[in-house]
Amino acid sequence: MNAPTPHTAHATRGKPIAFVSAEALRERVHEAINDDHLRSSFRGAMDFLMAKRAAQFPDESELVSLRSLSEAIRQYSLSKLPDLLEQLEANLTRNGVHVHWAETPDEANAIMLDIARRHQAKLIVKGKSMVSEEIEFNHAMEAAGIGALESDMGEYIVQLAGEKPSHIIMPAIHKTKEQIARLFAEKVPGVDYTDNVDALIQIGRQVLREKFEQAEIGLSGVNFAVAETGTLCLVENEGNGRMCTTVPKVHIAITGIEKVVEKLEHVAPLYSILTRSATGQAVSTYFNLISGPRKADEKDGPQEVHLVLLDNGRSQAYADEQLRKTLQCIRCGACMNHCPVYTRIGGHAYGTTYPGPIGKIVSPHMMGLEQTHLLPTLSTLCGACGEVCPVKIPIPELLVRLRGEAQSAPHPHPAMVGQGAGYRPLVSFVWRLWARIYAQPGAYRAFTWLASRFRALTPSRQSGWTVARTPLKPAPKRLRDMVRERV
């Protein structure tokens, strides 16, 4: 496996950077492309997920209607975002939930570390949360001597292997059952090698049940936060999300500020299109609606519930009408399942928490374009991601926009952090020159005449192009010459 080397988070502007550098992106992509094993396992998994999703939408008209409705709900929610966040905060507070706000990953980790210390927590059990990956929560807790244990089976496997999730929905999708069997035999005390999937799951169940019982704190993400009722909604199949939010005496939920919707009824269509788009399930096993801590007369549930609202660059995307559409995302992962690039290189090659098409449009806001300016180029612009997106995010358009932002000349007051990070004066000059030639018929004719006459001078090595292709060479005769000969 080409597992990336884990690193310790070092911060730029208070944000953790990618766990592998952007400069090494090309190298990682090449490595991934040449890994036949990785390619065949992703190909198989993506074909499986695409077929399962397709089977969930037999009625095209229902899909059209549900997608439009889901897009409308997300756009409506974003249009009222600051008001809805305040309403959410007021209602959660009324329900007895503590609400915290964090602009950066460091702030979010500090808030949660403070809660953990107040409860003298030794162990935090975690339900699946990509935002907690985004802020490198596990590292932050471990650095403070507090255990953070993943309890989603896929996340548990990935954590045991010292890796990162390679897919936002199916974190261990890059691993075969034989690899997991070896991992368990090696890392879980008293376990013999078995590649029987049921047996492996039962091993995970046994190990983690003990931890649910012991942990002082449970951490979870949030799929939808409902402003009108002050409710946190969680979607899951395994029951670990319920365990983490029910059994420990403290529950901390963390979410990006964009996940809020106004009305409870708005979650009905979003929940339906989320599970069908993500894993091709009509519904998940559990949909968990949490509106507060244990009440005086109740017998179980956490005694304290906290919500951490994280910005981390989302307000930057919010400031621009086109880029704001990025925040419509409900994190289903359908865009990566349908992406020809993701299918070939897998999730680790991107080097970001969120891989695939959504990762390419959201990461630049979280990490700045200095780190991520090459990401939007990892695309053929085939349009598959935009076509399957359940909330109709125009991902290809946004990729083109971000390529432009990355290449634009440096600006004294950039709208995006790292704007112009990919700017190269020579390349920019060549394109400007070409635009000028192309716009003037006389100059264009002269240029093509010269190009066809001096074609022998074209170099045989043409930077990235000739790595896997034959060199480009102008034709011996221009089109206009050939047309003239025919007339």
Partner 1 sequence: MSARDRILAKLRANAPQIPLPVPTPQLDAHYAARDRQESTLDRLARFRTGIESFHADVHVTLEESWPELLARLCAEKGVSSLLYGAATPAGQRLDAAAFAANGTALRPWAGQVEDIKADLFHKVDAGFTQARGAIAETGTLILWPSPAEPRTLSLVPPIHFVLLDAATIHPTFFDALRAENWAGGLPTNALLVSGPSKTADIQQTLAYGAHGPKELIVLVTTREGAAQ
Interface of this chain with partner 1, residues 146 to 165, rule: CB under 8 A: 151-154, 157
H-state helical runs in 368-394: 369-372, 384-388
257 lies in the binding site for partner 1 (CB under 8 A) = yes
The interface region with partner 1, picked from 17-25, 114-122, 142-150, 285-293 by CB under 8 A, is 285-293
176 lies in the binding site for partner 1 (CB under 8 A) = yes
Q: How far apart are CA 302 and CA 299, in angstroms?
A: 10
Contacting partner 1 (CB under 8 A), which of 295, 432, 455, 477?
295
Contacting partner 1 (CB under 8 A), which of 1, 26, 30, 75?
75
In order of 3, 4, 94, the CA distances from 162 in angstroms are 9, 9, 41
Q: Which of residues 45-74 bind partner 1 (CB under 8 A)?
A: 45, 48-49, 62, 65-66, 69, 72-73
> What is the Cα gyration radius of the chain?
25
We find the least distance from the C-beta atom of residue 193 to partner 1, in angstroms, to be 14
Contacting partner 1 (CB under 8 A), which of 57, 76, 444, 447?
76
**Which positions ≥6 away from 225 have C-beta within 8 Å?**
88, 231, 232, 233, 255, 259, 260, 261, 307
130 lies in the binding site for partner 1 (CB under 8 A) = no
We find the least distance from the C-beta atom of residue 131 to partner 1, in angstroms, to be 15
Sign of CA dihedral 218, 219, 225, 230: positive
86 lies in the binding site for partner 1 (CB under 8 A) = yes
In order of 257, 339, 433, the CA distances from 226 in angstroms are 12, 31, 53
- Return the structure tokens found at 266: 């708005």
Q: Which of residues 14-33 bind partner 1 (CB under 8 A)?
A: none
In order of 171, 254, 290, 394, 455, the CA distances from 221 in angstroms are 15, 5, 12, 25, 59
Contacting partner 1 (CB under 8 A), which of 38, 208, 254, 334?
208
Residue with smaller CB distance to partner 1, 127 or 356: 127
CA dihedral 247, 110, 222, 374 (to 10 degrees): -140
- Return the structure tokens found at 184: 């368990």
Q: Which of residues 349-378 bind partner 1 (CB under 8 A)?
A: none
For partner 1 (CB under 8 A), the number of binding residues is 95
212 lies in the binding site for partner 1 (CB under 8 A) = yes
186 lies in the binding site for partner 1 (CB under 8 A) = no
Contacting partner 1 (CB under 8 A), which of 10, 299, 413, 424?
299
Q: Which of residues 217-246 bind partner 1 (CB under 8 A)?
A: 228-229, 231, 237-240, 242-243, 246
Contacting partner 1 (CB under 8 A), which of 22, 25, 85, 336?
85
Q: How far apart are CA 212 and CA 240, in angstroms?
A: 9
**Which positions ≥6 away from 73 have C-beta within 8 Å?**
261, 266, 269, 270
Residue with smaller CB distance to partner 1, 133 or 238: 238
Residue with smaller CB distance to partner 1, 25 or 172: 172
Contacting partner 1 (CB under 8 A), which of 93, 265, 429, 431?
265
We find the least distance from the C-beta atom of residue 485 to partner 1, in angstroms, to be 55
In order of 9, 19, 54, 103, 312, the CA distances from 16 in angstroms are 5, 8, 37, 13, 10
Q: Which of residues 312-351 bind partner 1 (CB under 8 A)?
A: 315, 318-321, 324
387 lies in the binding site for partner 1 (CB under 8 A) = no
